[in-house]
Amino acid sequence: MKKSQDSRFFSIDLFSGCGGLTQGMSDAGFQTKVAVELEEDAVKAFKLNHPDTQVIQKDIREISVDEIKSVLGDQRLHLLAGCPPCQGFSRVRRLNKAQCVDDDRNNLVEEYYRLVEGLMPYTIMMENVPGLEEYSLFQEIVKNLRNLGYKIEHKVVDVKKYGVPQSRRRLIMVGSLLGQLNIAEGSQKKVTVRKKIEHLPTPDATDDPMQKIVANHSDRIMERIKKTPKDGGSWKDLPEEYILDCHKKKNVGFNDIYGRLRWDDYSTTITGGCLNPSKGRFLHPEQDRVITPREAALLQSFPEDYKFPTDIAKSSLALLIGNALPPEFSRIHSDNIARHLSEHLN
């Protein structure tokens, strides 16, 4: 796993999860001094990979600016980054309706702003669901950040344009006290499912515990999987007797469930249900099984040696991976910010 050495830029990762954002910042040369995360499994995963970062494990609403400053000491903060959970603004949660879902996590974006205001880092970065951009809460925070002196830019992008082998639209916001900071452009280089996971050994021929974990299914489900055409097939390609009754109704059900990934294309979005074929297109392109946690993590652009706890529930492991910020996406944006800092602080 690539790590930064002797970094002269210091960062903080809010809502750090299992460490996807920190991994990207580290690869770009930042030293993450503090990570804030509440969930125990996520903290466990984060510490396995980033032992030099001090993790504050508690609700961010209970964390004071002074508590973070006590860790930073007299070091000036170069980048405050974070991905506040805002599930109420996601398209899936809203079921394509205009209004957001009443979710008490929606206001966590205000906690992000509170810590920006208290710490006044040189630069900031925030990633979130695309739907947040439409709401007055986000627009008010952008206005307040500009009033603090930050030059702000934000837009919705697709991570597949940033070297990540999956389609995943996200809102990215960056800002700087030092001058105009533009959002990094993607490389446009297509990274496919094949490039990321074809080389892996099968689950029964590996020493990697993350590659050994495979869902168990009933005989009936296994027959459906075996009959699903290789390299991109779905339930729509099955014989009539294998199609579930609920899928036979018009405009009911998601098209991608029990679908196979395509070798030479992007993956569908890796979600918290990525280890369950009933949650999306998560079947291996060729083998008769759902993807493993290692394969899901690679499709999220984690390094192949990234560690995850394997003594937790499979559903929890899937959430850690699916909820993470893709590290390669983070690296490209963090590298762009590092160049901006170098230009203005030299």
- Please enumerate in sequence order all residues whose Cβ is within 8 A of that of 218, keeping only pairs 6 or more positions apart, or say none: none
Using DSSP's 3-state secondary structure scheme, residue 242 falls into helix
Query: For 252, phi and psi rounded to 5 degrees?
Result: -125, 135
* Token reading at 265: 């294309």
Q: Which of 70, 109, 67 is nearest to 86 (CA)?
A: 109
User: What end-to-end distance do the CA atoms of the chain give, in Å?
Assistant: 29
Using DSSP's 3-state secondary structure scheme, residue 334 falls into helix
Is-contact 160 167, C-beta < 8 A? Answer: yes
Tokens 């510490």 found at: 47
CA 133, 134, 137: angle at the middle one, nearest 5? 75
CA 81, 85, 89: angle at the middle one, nearest 5? 120
Active-site residue set: 86
Neighbouring C-beta atoms of residue 145, cutoff 10 Å: 20
What does each C-alpha distance from 245 to 82, 222, 232, 250 come to in angstroms? Answer: 43, 17, 22, 11
Residues 131, 288: Cα–Cα separation, whole Å:
35
What does each C-alpha distance from 333 to 21, 64, 282 come to in angstroms? Answer: 10, 27, 28
